[in-house]
């Protein structure tokens, strides 16, 4: 690194961030889409999942983490694709990223919402290799009831999760601090939640080193 923006953090954290940067700049490839549980890849390596409302910026964030465009595809029909997308990281394979189907699309038909619930619930309850879910929330909006539904499912399935704020470039620093604190205060009461929130912007690259490190940390 020619410039270390983390000079105020300890050596251990800096080493973790560098290790994560190295892993994410290595091989990452799309493996498959699973529209149902019988299409899942073998549960042979740890997995870290990304979840959030449609349009929260999930595809952009996955692409930004991996530093490549078009890895995760932005859906032009939000709330329609009820699929889990799997990405292999590392050669040899180290772990998988799971792009979970977006939710909360206002115009989604009832059966699509139902299908989302079944797919996500079954996946969360049955996937022993799933180490953590990163739950994305738009920094402009904060937690919504549709997000709380997912958090309830995660708590009930005892899947550890951590909140990530997206599109942080769209809010003022003072408002970002407020939404971060509000989100932290709310998840503090929840059993499976990680206490720290990660603010990010795919657009500006903010929080990406920390988020990469959070993915690697979840694998331990």
> At CA 134, angle to CA 133 and CA 136, rounded to 5?
135
- Residue 56 found at the interface with ligand GDP (CB under 6 A): yes
79: left (phi over 0), alpha (psi -120 to 50) or beta: left
Which position among 67, 170, 175, 192 is part of the footprint of ligand GDP (CB under 6 A)?
Answer: 170
- Tokens linked to 32: 């498959």
Q: Is the Cβ of residue 13 or residue 33 nearer to ligand GDP in the bound state? A: 33
- Does residue 85 belong to the site contacting ligand GDP (CB under 6 A)? no
Site string for ligand GDP, 104-143 (x = CB under 6 A): ----------------------------------------
The number of angstroms, rounded, from the C-alpha of 98 to the middle of its chain's C-alpha atoms is 8
Stretch that binds ligand GDP, among 112-120, 144-152, 171-179, 195-203 (CB under 6 A): 195-203
Q: Supply the minimum distance, in Å, between the C-beta of residue 109 and ligand GDP.
A: 18
Q: Which one, 21 or 170, has the nearer CB to ligand GDP?
A: 170
Pick the binder of ligand GDP from 51, 60, 88, 163 (CB under 6 A). Answer: 60
Q: Which is nearer to ligand GDP, 113 or 219 (CB)?
A: 113
CA–CA gap between residue 144 and residue 83 (Å, rounded): 22
Residue 85 near residue 52 (C-beta atoms within 8 A): no
By CB under 6 A, residue 59 contacts ligand GDP = yes
Residues lying near ligand GDP in the complex (CB under 6 A) are found at 52, 54-60, 74-75, 78, 102, 166-167, 169-170, 201-203
């Amino acid at each position: 690194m020619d410039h270390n923006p983390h000079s105020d953090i300890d050596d251990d954290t800096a080493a973790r961030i560098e290790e994560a940067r190295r892993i994410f700049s290595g091989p990452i490839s799309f493996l498959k889409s699973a529209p149902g549980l019988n299409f899942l890849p073998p549960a042979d390596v740890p997995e870290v999942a990304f979840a959030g409302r449609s349009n929260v910026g999930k595809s952009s964030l996955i692409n930004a983490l991996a530093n490549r465009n078009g890895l995760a595809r932005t859906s032009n029909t939000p709330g329609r694709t009820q699929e889990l997308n799997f990405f292999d990281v590392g050669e040899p394979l180290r772990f998988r990223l799971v792009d979970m189907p977006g939710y909360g699309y206002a115009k989604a038909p009832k059966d699509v919402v139902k299908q989302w619930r079944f797919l996500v619930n079954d996946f969360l309850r049955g996937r022993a290799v799933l180490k953590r879910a990163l739950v994305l929330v738009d920094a402009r909006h904060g937690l919504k009831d549709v997000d709380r539904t997912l958090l309830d499912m995660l708590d009930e399935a005892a899947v550890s999760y951590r909140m990530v704020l997206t599109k942080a470039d769209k809010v003022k620093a003072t408002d970002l601090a407020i939404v971060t604190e509000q989100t932290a205060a709310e998840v503090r009461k929840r059993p499976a939640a990680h206490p720290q929130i990660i603010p990010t912007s795919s657009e500006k690259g903010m929080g990406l080193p920390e988020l990469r490190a959070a993915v690697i940390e979840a694998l331990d």
